[in-house]
Amino acid sequence: MLATLLTALLATSPPPEEGPIDLPAFATRAPVTTVAFDTARFHVVASERAEQPARALGPELETLRDEVSALIGRDWTGRTEVRVALGREEYEAMALPGSRPPGWAVALAWPGANVVLVDARSIATAEGKTTLRHELVHIALGQLGKDWPRWFQEGVAQMVTRETQFKSGHYSTMAIAIASDRLFDFDALRDGFPERPQDVEVAYAQSSEFVSFLFSRYGPEQFGELIDLNGQGVIFEQAFARAFHTSLSLEETEFRKYVALRYPWWPVLFMSGSLVWSGSAFLMVLAFVRRRRAVAAHRENQKRLEQLEDTAVVLLGTLPNAVNDDGGPIVDPIPELPWRITSIRTGS
């Protein structure tokens, strides 16, 4: 019942951004009129309408790349192309050939091509900057290595951007998944994430938690060694074992113990939806528990009274002059009648 209640509390939300898809050859010129300019490590291609926000973005791109490089301990070589569009029509036109950006996406990355696409309208917002930083992490991993597990890519991106830090939705997702035994094995998240929005939320949340868990245990140096080994062609699981001196399965076992203690379920009652709704849910649970206890106590009291009455009948049968309140002799009670002893009088 607890798992059912917690699952009902989980508010559905739009699915997180899908991970990058590597595409082969791509057109360097978008089918819209564009302007281009370079920074130290970026080649910026913008539509004419997006030129002004794109030029303002140029210096910030260098800062964002410095932040990403510092956190993962590595910078990638070459100049990354950033395409800046204004509006949905330009955004789709400037995407790489063969791809169609999801309707909810404001930034996308193609790591193999070293290309990022961003909607200029999102640049001025804090959320837009976070999304762009997220996509640069995908570029970094794609340029520094290959065949990264999906959970590792998304976990590193969220750790770098701190997207889930202090978010009640993240806590609720983790706590409910743990209480209802809905955490995925990481082997199941290697090649992709599930399709159902509720499952996607769990996959993103546990990926973020697992990467942060590993980083806190092994630190940036061993994390950097993992990235280097993968870049040298060592498959991920072997690179993991060589860098961390343990196996992925053992770390996953320790991780499950860790999050079970870190995310108890009861605070979810105060986080899901409005305060009124949460309070109502808590009162419903409290009322249910109190009612169960009251019913149990009432049944126990009835049982005790029946036992006392049966004992009294047996005892009264041993008194030669015992009579009822109406003066008649005590006889064995008939089970079908509502007979009850109210007092005992004996003849003198």
Would residue 240 count as lying in a domain? Answer: yes
State the pLDDT confidence band at 249, using cuts at 50, 70 and 90.
very high
Alpha helices per DSSP H over 145-246: 150-161, 168-179, 197-231, 236-244
Co-location of 173 and 129 in the same domain: no
Q: Would you place residue 170 in the very low, low, confident or very high pLDDT band (cuts 50, 70, 90)? A: confident
CATH number of the structural domain spanning residue 61: 3.30.2010.30
Beta pairing, strands 80-85 & 115-119: parallel
**Which of 252, 273, 294 is the last residue in one of the domains?**
273
Does the pLDDT at position 12 exceed 80?
A: no
pLDDT tens across 290-305, in order? 766 777 777 777 777 7
Asked whether the beta carbons of 112 and 147 are under 8 A apart, the reply is: no
Q: What is the CA radius of gyration of the chain?
A: 33
Residue 157 near residue 108, CB atoms below 8 Å: no
In a domain, 66, yes or no: yes
Q: What's the domain count of the chain?
A: 3
Q: What is the pTM of this model?
A: 0.66
Are the C-beta atoms of residues 278 and 272 closer than 8 Å to each other?
yes
User: Does the residue 125 lie in any domain?
Assistant: yes
Whether the pLDDT of residue 3 is over 90: the answer is no
Asked whether residue 41 falls in the same domain as residue 56, the answer is yes
Domain range for 269 is: 147-273
Residues sharing a CB contact under 8 Å with residue 279, sequence separation 6 or more, in sequence order: none
DSSP conformation class of 81: E
| Domain closes at, from 98, 127, 144 | 144
CB 54 within 8 A of CB 83: no
Same domain? For 125 and 153 the reply is: no
